[in-house]
Amino acid sequence: MSATQLPEAGEDPYVLEAGGLAKSFAGVHALRGVDFALRAGEVHALVGENGAGKSTLIKVITGVYRPDTGTVRLAGKERSFRTPLEAQAAGISTIYQEVNLVPLMSVARNLYLGREPRRLGLVDLRAMHRGATETLERYGVRADVARPLHTLGLGAQQMVAIARAVQTEARVVIMDEPTSSLETREAHTLFSVIRTLREQGIAVVFVSHRLDELYEICDRVTVMRDGGVVHTGELAELSRLELISLMLGREQFTVRAEGATAFDTASHAARGDSRPALRAEGLDMRHRLHGVSLDVYAGEVVGLGGLLGAGRSETAKAIIGALPSDGGTVEVDGKRLHRRSPAGAMRSGVVMLAEDRKAEGIIPSLSVRENIVLAALPRMSRAGVLSAQKQDAVVKLFMDRLRIKASSPQQRVSDLSGGNQQKVLLARWLCMNPKVLLLDEPTRGIDLGAKAEVQTLIDELAHDGLAVLLISSELEELIEGSDRIVVLKDGSVVGHLNGDEVTEDRLLHALAAVPADAARGDQASISERGAAGVSAPAAEESAAAANPRDEEHER
Amino acid sequence: MTSTTWTTAALSRDRLLRSLQDYGVYGALVVLLVVAVALNTGFLSAGNWRVQLFQLSPTLLVALGMALVIGTEGIDLSVGAVIALAAAVVPLYIGYGPWPALGIALLLGAASGAVGGSMIAFAGVQPIVATLALMIGLRGLAELMNGDAAKPVLDSTLLGLGENRVLGVPVMAWIALAAAVIAALVMRLTTFGRQLVAIGDNRSASRLAGLPVRRVLITVYVISGVLSALAGVLIVGHGAEADPANQGLNMELNAITAVVVGGTPLSGGRVRVLGTVAGALFMQLITAVLTQHNVHASYTQIVEAAIICFAVYASRERGTR
């Protein structure tokens, strides 16, 4: 599908045009020949899953990175920005996810930073305050502009950032997930601001993972995957299902390839037990989770499906208490966990393999052996003195069982391949004899051989009676590895797939579902909360029922 | 072809840096000794060594605690002030006997460590800020408790701790040696040692692995406080006076220098106990050699600065990995 281009009178309808952009880091291609064009006065959605290259593209356009090849043209002139400052001076403003202003300076100062109104060589405070108040009122923010910025709410801070971006005579405003920290009401104010920008002829690039927002505010869309652009066109011509299929790289309605992963597709132990090994109920986390409930029984693998930003990792972290949650309960074998913390969850038999292996997994300077026994140290020691025999026994057992390839247990873990590091981390958790295993992207970034081994291992563990919660962005892995799938969207459970329903097709439909009532936000999630906990099939039905509306290009 | 040679060159440079970091301090120590003896054979005399050991021992005690703190990616600036505090309480409690006085000094050291450690572990204050506050506050408190003038301390037990010898070696040096051996064993053999290093290397991973992060952090600062207080009492015994206004001044800097020169990276995740011993010894001896050869104190400081720069450069490798 190619964009139907407007036959404008001017020779160049695009305010910003990037052609053939390529960028690689240490041999890894982050961008491969990306073409990206923006028209004046449009809101352009930029979407893609993790690692698709969105942030790299933004950073290349705004001068944070230099492209290896390719050009950036602004208003028809070829430009090469060496710093974000140069890009900003040329009219490209970026608003990042985290507001980057100076929190301790006053609101007005932030707004006028670097271009303060002068009078007799001094900063004209009065003019600055007056101007700031007027500007912010246009954005629906009423605040004492003399107070430090950090006293404002996050939403208001975001508005200040936007006001600042636009005041610096921007022609292009790039917003990287601007709504991720906003309340529904604040988001709507933001949208009306964006509409104003559009009327002024400013091109807005809007990055968000929330489909509802994209369809509410965006005119055109560019979909990225694996460092390339897979689609550009009018958003209204694209159904949600098509959009998701593009993002995930799935042809719609194709028959899935059986056995592409190492999972045994047969279902695991039937749910005979009356009591789940893990029950999480009503997990709440501000802006991120809204009443997420799920059960995992011993001997089954429950998949947690959802797009980037749906709250999958947050759910796992809330369960073990690695992130503070605002509400909800977690029960293990019917016993409630009080005062949740990773250590406490571990004692109750719940462990989590974190998504980010480097930052939250390995202890790089310690050896393979020391990394494996890290969590189990108290069991390997008497009166605080470590027993070499106990450690060696456990380490040997798991290095053999998981086939960890290291020159010796004494090798530094950071010298191992990604796959072997992942196995070391799995060994760390398995030697705790857990009842419940939360796996967050267990096969990301590891080679194919190790991937198959890890997948087989997950199968075996479930057969042995472990309760497994599997998070994976790979559809095949999720579908073939899971007995059931709980579908998350914007921090709420929006569907359950059981038994035969665990197919790619059903999952894509569940991901594409429009909330029962068209309004996004809290109302919708409350109704889903009720549906999710009690009657799973009902939620699934409503999700499926909502689908036909996709084809009518909801806006 | 060029790329392979480049890789091997980078590798060997990498390996060179790593071995420099691992063994550099011992090599430097040997070279220094050879040079010192070549310049003046009197350097090996027992008298000279005793003088060196008297000066070295308190620094080493403090540096051992500092090494543990730095292993957790922290820093303890309060050690010098804790020495002053210990010096201030000794004359106050010496009336109850030397051991109660020592006990109270150690207790106060532990309390100071607990306060600093709690600020860091619970309130999330940066170590440098928390211990800077203690450094300033405790020094003031010590001077308040003691008054203006230095007080003489004449208790024979304390003087003995500071002056006596066993087998020709100062008691102070035996104490420091014992502390070093214990520290090495703790780091090698105990759960605590392993957890300490893990927390320094990757705190969020350690937390997710269920390690008692807060408890370990507080314990580390308590150990540092107790060792500093012990050093303070020894200093008082050696000097036969309590002078909180001057005792322990710049001790935090000497201790950090010893740790860094000994090859413990400031980025945490590694504690080199033997290296710290060698580092403390090296800094002590180089100062002594330069002083004995009538090099002006200003030049001595410049030489020390150059050594620190070089040690930090050598430990830089870890950060780039």
Which candidate from B190, B201, B270 shows the least CB-CB separation from A386?
B190
B197 touches chain A (CB under 8 A): yes
Average pLDDT rounded to a whole number, residues A485-495: 90
Read off the tokens for A383: 């009166």
Task: For residues A251 and A246, give the distance between their C-alpha atoms in angstroms, rounded to a whole number.
Answer: 8
**Residue B292 clears pLDDT 50, i.e. is over it:** yes
Q: Which residue has better confidence, A184 or B244?
A: B244
Closest CA to B293 of B20, B23, B38: B38
| Closest residue in chain B to residue A415, using alpha carbons only | B321
The whole-number pLDDT of residue A131 equals 86
Angle at A516 between CA A515 and CA A519, to 5 degrees: 60
- Least confident interval from A176-180, A200-204, A263-267, B107-111: A263-267
Average pLDDT rounded to a whole number, residues A520-542: 38
| pLDDT (tens digit per residue) in A293-350 | 999 999 899 999 888 778 899 999 999 999 888 888 999 988 888 878 999 999 999 9
The whole-number pLDDT of residue B128 equals 94
**Residue B290 clears pLDDT 50, i.e. is over it:** yes
Average pLDDT rounded to a whole number, residues B298-319: 77
The CB-based long-range contact list for B304-312 (8 Å cut-off, 24+ gap) reads B304/B257, B307/B261, B307/B282, B307/B283, B308/B257, B308/B260, B308/B261, B311/B24, B311/B25, B311/B260, B311/B261, B311/B263, B311/B279, B312/B260, B312/B266
Q: Which residues pair with A22 in a beta bridge?
A: A69
The whole-number pLDDT of residue A424 equals 94
- Least confident interval from A467-471, A539-543, B61-65: A539-543
- Least confident interval from A114-123, A265-274, B220-229, B262-271: A265-274
**Residue A90 clears pLDDT 80, i.e. is over it:** yes
| Closest residue in chain A to residue B269, using alpha carbons only | A365
Q: How far is B202 from chain A (nearest CA, A)?
A: 6
B310 — pLDDT class (breaks 50, 70, 90): confident
Task: For residues A460 and A299, give the distance between their C-alpha atoms in angstroms, rounded to a whole number.
Answer: 10
- Least confident interval from A259-263, A479-483, A518-522, B223-227: A518-522
Q: Which residue has better confidence, A159 or A413?
A: A413
The whole-number pLDDT of residue A555 equals 36
| Closest residue in chain A to residue B268, using alpha carbons only | A365
Q: What is the mean pLDDT of chain B?
A: 88
Question: CB–CB of B190 and A385 under 8 A?
Answer: yes
The whole-number pLDDT of residue A330 equals 92
Closest CA to A49 of A251, A224, A243, A239: A224
- 3-state SS, residue A328: strand
**Residue A12 clears pLDDT 80, i.e. is over it:** no
The whole-number pLDDT of residue A272 equals 54
| Closest residue in chain B to residue A320, using alpha carbons only | B208
Chain B residues touching A375 at Cβ < 8 A:
209-211
ipTM above 0.90, yes or no: no
Task: For residues B272 and B95, give the distance between their C-alpha atoms in angstroms, rounded to a whole number.
Answer: 40
Chain B residues touching A428 at Cβ < 8 A:
209
The whole-number pLDDT of residue A250 equals 67
Helix (H) or strand (E) holding A47: strand A43-47
B130 — pLDDT class (breaks 50, 70, 90): very high
Chain A residues touching B197 at Cβ < 8 A:
363, 365-366
- Least confident interval from A1-15, B63-77, B188-202: A1-15
Q: Which residue has better confidence, B123 or A264?
A: B123
Most B CBs within 10 Å, among A360, A391, A421, to test the B interface: A360
A428 — pLDDT class (breaks 50, 70, 90): very high
Which candidate from A322, A342, A364 shows the least CB-CB separation from B202?
A364
**Residue A530 clears pLDDT 60, i.e. is over it:** no
**Residue A10 clears pLDDT 70, i.e. is over it:** no
The whole-number pLDDT of residue A548 equals 40
Residue A445 contacts residue A395 (beta carbons within 8 Å): no
Strand order in A335-336's β-sheet?
A289-296, A278-285, A327-332, A335-336
Q: How far is A353 from chain B (nearest CA, A)?
A: 9
| Closest residue in chain B to residue A352, using alpha carbons only | B208
**Residue A552 clears pLDDT 50, i.e. is over it:** no
Task: For residues B62 and B85, give the distance between their C-alpha atoms in angstroms, rounded to a whole number.
Answer: 14
Question: CB–CB of A386 and B211 under 8 A?
Answer: no
Task: For residues A537 and A555, give the distance between their C-alpha atoms in angstroms, rounded to a whole number.
Answer: 27
Q: Which residues pair with A498 in a beta bridge?
A: A484
Q: Which residue has better confidence, A114 or A442?
A: A442
A451 — pLDDT class (breaks 50, 70, 90): confident
Which candidate from B194, B201, B212 shows the least CB-CB separation from A364?
B201
Read off the tokens for A225: 């995957």
Question: CB–CB of B207 and A342 under 8 A?
Answer: yes
Average pLDDT rounded to a whole number, residues A532-553: 39
Alpha carbons within 13 angstroms on the beta-carbon side of residue A116 total 17
Q: How far is A343 from chain B (nearest CA, A)?
A: 4
What burial letters (b/e) apply to B48-82, b meaning 16+ CB within 10 Å? Answer: ebeebbbebbbbbbbbbbbbbbbbbbbbbbbbbbb
A506 contact partners, CB below 8 Å, separation of at least 6: A497, A544
CB burial of residue B121 (10 Å; 0-12, 13-18, 19+): buried
B11 touches chain A (CB under 8 A): no
B69 — pLDDT class (breaks 50, 70, 90): very high
The whole-number pLDDT of residue A519 equals 40
Average pLDDT rounded to a whole number, residues A145-149: 85
Q: How far apart are the first and last CA of chain A?
A: 20
Is the torsion defined by CA of B118, B122, B125, B127 positive or negative?
positive
Task: For residues B68 and B8, give the distance between their C-alpha atoms in angstroms, rounded to a whole number.
Answer: 35
